[in-house]
Amino acid sequence: MKMNKTQKWRILLPLVVVALMMILATPVFAQDGGPGEEISDISLSINIMWMIIGGFIVFFMQAGFALVETGFTRNKNVAHTMLMNMMVFCIGAVGYWLTGFAFQFGAVNLAYPEVARAGVIAGEWAHSPVTLGDWTGLLATPLLRIGQFGIIGGSGFMLAGIGTNVGILAFFLFQMVFMDTAATIPTGSMAERVKFIGFVIMSLWVSMFIYPLVAGWIWGGGWIQNLGRSLGLGNGAVDFAGSGPVHMIGGCVALAGALVIGPRIGKFNKDGSANTIPGHSISLGVLGTIILFFGWFGFNPGSSLGFLGGFRDLAVIAAVNTLLAGAAGGCSAMTYMWLLGPTKKPDPGMSVNGVLAGLVAITAPCAFVDGWAAVVIGLIAGVLVCLASVWIEKWGIDDPVGAVPVHFFNGLFGVLAVGIFANGNPATAAWNGVETPVTGLLYGGSTQIIAQTIEVVSVFVAAFGLSYVFFKVLAGFNLLRVSREVELQGLDIPEMGVVGYPVDWEPSNLEDEVPAALPGTATKKAFGTAD
């Protein structure tokens, strides 16, 4: 297939006219500072406000992950699990600032073909979101590409050269918290046995390299994103908010980590059957799930990267579908467990994972499908997560919080769901630079599913494969798993120096108490600490 000179990244054709007018109109009005210039400024503010508030809400998901993972693991590992979930953000933010953003988006504006003019009226294709201002000349340096296929970016390390381009700065913030979602997933599958130093190195692995590499292929102007133009496969790989880039990458790392680190002591019996190891707090786990659901309203609708015209419309559609699919996933998982589960009860743990599964599965297709399809996707996801939880135990994989069933399996399902359920909404024409709208099998689109399948396979091969090797190396240096003694004792004291829920410290010898010489004690008599 020949190059298409109008290819754009996430640009909707109907918006091109308006955007073009704005750009053309601006110089005219700019001379007298008239409404045109102000409207242009207002439009940029609205788009950035939407995206950055979305980013804040996504940040808050870190609290949700912390609670889900800690709630569904044991008391003796609370401090360890909880701190991993806070530090993964801190370490990841620094790592993503150092190299991650540059690898993922450093060539987004010049990956394929070689034109940096920000979108829209460019004679040739550029990637920069038209909603976020003018990126001319920035993020336009590939580190590696094969012909016209973008492989990895090479500018924007430590935000150098970005200056005060606030569109890019806001975009950095938004993408950083997305990366963090991927990075925090493996802490769940390796919980209760991973060394803290291993976790730190894993956080750098995800934030600095593996996530940026693979997610860049789909969102950073890379080769999977361009399968529509290059091979005529639908609109290329289409992923609105990241069932693939975020959840499946995170799920692949989680799967590789769980495989290499091996199951917790006692998880499996001689006959290969698995024991249930309950977490320590349903309260925290469910609270975390509700927080994650809330966060998904930043995650999915925020991924429109704008809130005017068609971008607003897609954002609202994404919000409603997110609500419906998450709810449906909870309902179907609860019902499945109630009718067919081992306890024949509405199991809290699987209900929680059903909600999360529905949310993960709708993440890629959220802006492309009808409400009924969102419900169907959610219902399927809720059952899929129950089945996948059984499968991985049969395969001998121990995943304490269900990270693999939720994020890997339903991320995979979500990517494919675009190829099945996308309704050919005309507003999505020009997605990834292909003129036809995003259309799935049920609406007559025969090749979109192929692009989605390639996304799934590529993500798996790269993210799982490379991470498997990475974890093997970590394990080889004895940096991955705590000793048997530490695991049995619980990781909190040996690794962190404190337990999660200390019993109240009390003075051991009150006779020895001598605070008399200390500041403030001169007034002690006055306020009556009798002595």
The residues in 306-345 that bind a copy of itself, with binding defined as CB under 8 A, are 307-309, 312-313, 315-317, 319-320, 323-324, 326-331, 334, 343, 345
Residue 84 CB, nearest approach to a copy of itself (Å): 10
At a CB cut-off of 8 Å and minimum separation 6, what does 67 contact?
284, 285, 287, 288, 291
Binding mask 405-434 for a copy of itself (x = CB under 8 A): --------------------x-x-------
13 binds a copy of itself (CB under 8 A): no
Contact predicate 471/463, CB 8 Å: no
Q: Give the nearer residue to a copy of itself in terms of CB position, either 9 or 89.
A: 89
Distance, CA of 343 to CA of 7 (rounded, Å)? 54
When binding is defined by CB under 8 A, the residue of 89, 105, 223, 408 that contacts a copy of itself is 89
529 binds a copy of itself (CB under 8 A): yes
Distance, CA of 484 to CA of 163 (rounded, Å)? 50
Q: Give the nearer residue to a copy of itself in terms of CB position, either 3 or 20.
A: 20
Q: Give the nearer residue to a copy of itself in terms of CB position, either 97 or 112.
A: 97
Q: Give the nearer residue to a copy of itself in terms of CB position, either 236 or 490.
A: 490
Name the one range near a copy of itself by CB under 8 A: 27-35, 246-254, 402-410, 412-420.
27-35
157 binds a copy of itself (CB under 8 A): no
Distance, CA of 488 to CA of 323 (rounded, Å)? 41
Residue 124 CB, nearest approach to a copy of itself (Å): 24
Residue 99 CB, nearest approach to a copy of itself (Å): 14
Q: Give the nearer residue to a copy of itself in terms of CB position, either 51 or 110.
A: 51
527 binds a copy of itself (CB under 8 A): yes
Q: Give the nearer residue to a copy of itself in terms of CB position, either 113 or 494.
A: 494
CA distances to 27, 136, 350, 376, 395 from 385, rounded to whole Å, are 54, 44, 8, 14, 15
Task: Give the orientation angle of helix 410-421 with respect to helix 448-459, to 10 degrees.
Answer: 170
Q: Give the nearer residue to a copy of itself in terms of CB position, either 217 or 299.
A: 299
Could you give the dihedral angle defined by the CA atoms of residues 224, 383, 272 and 342, in that order, rounded to the nearest 10 degrees?
170
Residue whose tokens read 């340096």 = 141
Q: How many CB atoms lie within 10 A of CB 258?
A: 26
Residue 11 CB, nearest approach to a copy of itself (Å): 17
When binding is defined by CB under 8 A, the residue of 123, 147, 339, 503 that contacts a copy of itself is 503
Distance, CA of 33 to CA of 19 (rounded, Å)? 18
39 binds a copy of itself (CB under 8 A): yes
143 binds a copy of itself (CB under 8 A): no
Q: Give the nearer residue to a copy of itself in terms of CB position, either 154 or 346.
A: 346
Distance, CA of 409 to CA of 241 (rounded, Å)? 16
When binding is defined by CB under 8 A, the residue of 1, 42, 121, 457 that contacts a copy of itself is 42
Q: How many CB atoms lie within 10 A of CB 443?
A: 18
Closest CA relative to residue 72, chosen from 409, 349, 460 = 349
347 binds a copy of itself (CB under 8 A): yes
Distance, CA of 390 to CA of 369 (rounded, Å)? 29
Which two three-digit tokens encode residue 497? Answer: 């120096």
When binding is defined by CB under 8 A, the residue of 146, 270, 273, 444 that contacts a copy of itself is 270
Residue 470 CB, nearest approach to a copy of itself (Å): 13
Angle, vertex CA 493, rays to CA 190 and CA 77, nearest 5: 35
Q: Is the backbone of residue 266 left (phi > 0), alpha (psi -120 to 50) or beta? A: left
Question: Is it true that the peptide bond before 113 is cis, omega within 30 degrees of 0?
Answer: yes
Q: Give the nearer residue to a copy of itself in terms of CB position, either 279 or 419.
A: 279
* Sign of the alpha-carbon dihedral angle for 68, 71, 74, 75: positive
User: Binders of a copy of itself: how many residues, by CB under 8 A?
Assistant: 176
Q: Which of residues 438-477 bind a copy of itself (CB under 8 A)?
A: 472, 474-476
Distance, CA of 22 to CA of 32 (rounded, Å)? 15
When binding is defined by CB under 8 A, the residue of 31, 146, 339, 512 that contacts a copy of itself is 512
Distance, CA of 62 to CA of 404 (rounded, Å)? 18
Binding mask 190-229 for a copy of itself (x = CB under 8 A): ------x---------------------------------
Q: Which of residues 383-402 bind a copy of itself (CB under 8 A)?
A: 395-397
Closest CA relative to residue 415, chosen from 463, 356, 467, 366 = 366
Closest CA relative to residue 204, chosen from 215, 192, 212, 216 = 212
Binding mask 95-134 for a copy of itself (x = CB under 8 A): --x-------------------------------------
